[in-house]
């Protein structure tokens, strides 16, 4: 599920925060067309949905992390931060020292784990973190030693991945930013996806913490733990009620739970907050289909289908299906389209290598295979690619 941060030593540069937008079979959509008129919703409707009235089970069924604990610093963590930065006078020196201590194999050695949406304390104790968890940890520790670290949201190009057979995931990024007398510094797990030209903005702690609950909601949904996912989604909205994609995710969860009324209110609220909310259209289509309103369902479906074509993972799936059907030409064309849209996923190039090999283009297949290996930082994954490709080559 990770967006490609990589399992590597942390260094002072850029850090990516893994944020997920989840929509049931939803995909990125255009903002250039006007929305049709939809049934109105009231503030009472919005309060009912965001307050848990739409849940099929009571929201208090099961405790979740309190927001005040997400960046909690224990005495052990405080001691680590002070020891790591001892002797450093400047803020910049402290930033470098703290980042190195967190990543150093001889010190804390917090390793990257795409599945680890953890609190700062949990990440410190378990020595693993995804990009979000690492950012929470670094910001919390940094402030303990006088580093004015903040959360900074970065607008990177859309990065898609697959959740399950009903869910597509779209990743966003945040980094930890430290303003200095001359410019600023950031701390990174990986800078592969970052470009200084991207638009970016400092966001509040509250907005960043809301993204923790959103991540948890998505991950629990993928594990079929619906009631827990709903509770986390509601907590995210409690912290950041004006964030459109959180309403879209909530709508998707309600739709999966069979609560169409709550889903309609949530997706309508998302579109009212942001008429260009890319992830809302397919959810709205499904909502209105189930409500028996074909005109609205058709409108949102058409917009979703158009932009489905812009999703590289859609073409990747089409290529896999074509290869299974032994249609090499379609598999080649769909894989090529996926790579043209997003050229940083090793899976695309590995699939292209397989397709090219089956088409008898061994030299091009080997070149594509090498790109797949170069894009993969994990030596174990590189070896798996080599081994699988060798077996397929012999079979051919």
pLDDT tens digits, one per residue of 312-332: 877 888 898 899 999 999 999
Predicted pLDDT of residue 25: 34
β partners of residue 202: 152
Sorted by where each begins, the domain ranges of the chain are: 11-302, 312-395
CA distance 352 to 338: 10
Predicted pLDDT of residue 317: 81
CA distance 250 to 21: 10
Question: At 16, is the pLDDT very low, low, confident or very high (cuts 50, 70, 90)?
Answer: very low
Among 148-162, 278-292, 303-317, the range scoring the smallest mean pLDDT is 148-162
Predicted pLDDT of residue 187: 82
Predicted pLDDT of residue 23: 37
CA distance 101 to 45: 49
Q: What pLDDT, in 10s, does the model give residues 51-109? A: 877 665 544 556 789 999 999 999 999 999 999 999 899 999 999 999 999 988 888 99
DSSP character for 86? T
| Matching fold, domains 11-302 and 312-395 | yes
* pLDDT tops 80 at residue 114: no
If you average pLDDT over residues 204-223, what whole number do you get? 92
Which of 135, 109, 104 is closest to 120 using CA atoms?
135
Second CATH level (architecture) for the domain 11-302 = Alpha Horseshoe (1.25)
Helices (H), the chain: 43-50, 75-84, 91-103, 120-126, 131-144, 205-222, 226-239, 244-256, 260-273, 281-290, 294-308, 312-324, 328-341, 346-358, 362-374, 379-395
Q: Which residues contact 63 (CB under 8 A, 6 or more apart)?
A: none
Check whether domain 312-395 has CATH 3.10.310.10, yes or no: no
For CA atoms 239, 241, 243, 245, the dihedral sign is positive
């Amino acid at each position: 599920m990770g967006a490609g941060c990589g399992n590597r030593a942390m260094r002072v540069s850029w850090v990516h925060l893994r944020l997920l937008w989840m929509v049931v079979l939803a995909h990125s959509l255009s903002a250039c067309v006007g929305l049709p008129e939809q049934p109105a919703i009231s503030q009472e409707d919005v309060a009912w949905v965001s307050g848990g009235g739409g849940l099929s089970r009571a929201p208090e069924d099961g405790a979740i992390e309190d927001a005040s604990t997400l960046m909690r610093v224990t005495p052990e963590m405080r001691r680590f931060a002070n020891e790591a930065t001892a002797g450093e006078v400047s803020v910049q020196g402290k930033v470098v020292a703290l980042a190195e201590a967190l990543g150093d194999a001889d010190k804390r050695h917090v390793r990257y784990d795409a599945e680890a949406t953890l609190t700062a304390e949990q990440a410190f104790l378990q020595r693993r973190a995804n990009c979000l968890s690492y950012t929470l940890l670094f910001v919390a520790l940094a402030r303990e030693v006088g580093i004015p670290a903040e959360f900074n949201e970065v607008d990177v190009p859309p990065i898609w991945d697959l959740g399950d057979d009903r869910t597509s995931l779209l990743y966003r990024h945040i980094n930890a930013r430290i303003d200095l007398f001359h410019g600023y510094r950031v701390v990174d797990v990986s800078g592969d996806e970052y470009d200084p030209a991207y638009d970016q903005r400092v966001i509040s702690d509250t907005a960043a913490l809301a993204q923790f609950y959103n991540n948890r909601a998505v991950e629990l949904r993928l594990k079929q733990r619906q009631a827990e996912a709903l509770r986390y989604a509601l907590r995210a909205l409690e912290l950041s009620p004006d964030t459109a994609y959180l309403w879209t995710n909530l709508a998707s969860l309600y739709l999966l739970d069979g609560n169409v009324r709550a889903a309609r209110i949530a997706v309508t609220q998302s579109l009212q907050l942001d008429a260009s909310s890319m992830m809302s259209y397919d959810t709205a289509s499904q909502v209105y289909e189930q409500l028996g309103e074909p005109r609205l369902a058709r409108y949102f479906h058409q917009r979703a289908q158009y932009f489905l074509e812009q999703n590289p993972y859609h073409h990747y799936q089409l290529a896999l299906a074509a290869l299974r059907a032994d249609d090499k030409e379609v598999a080649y064309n769909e894989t090529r389209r996926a790579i043209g849209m997003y050229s940083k996923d090793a899976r695309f190039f590995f699939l292209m290598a397989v397709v090219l090999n089956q088409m008898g283009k061994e030299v091009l297949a080997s070149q594509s295979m090498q790109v797949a290996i170069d894009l993969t930082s994990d030596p174990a994954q590189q070896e798996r690619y080599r081994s699988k490709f060798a077996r397929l080559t012999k079979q051919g």
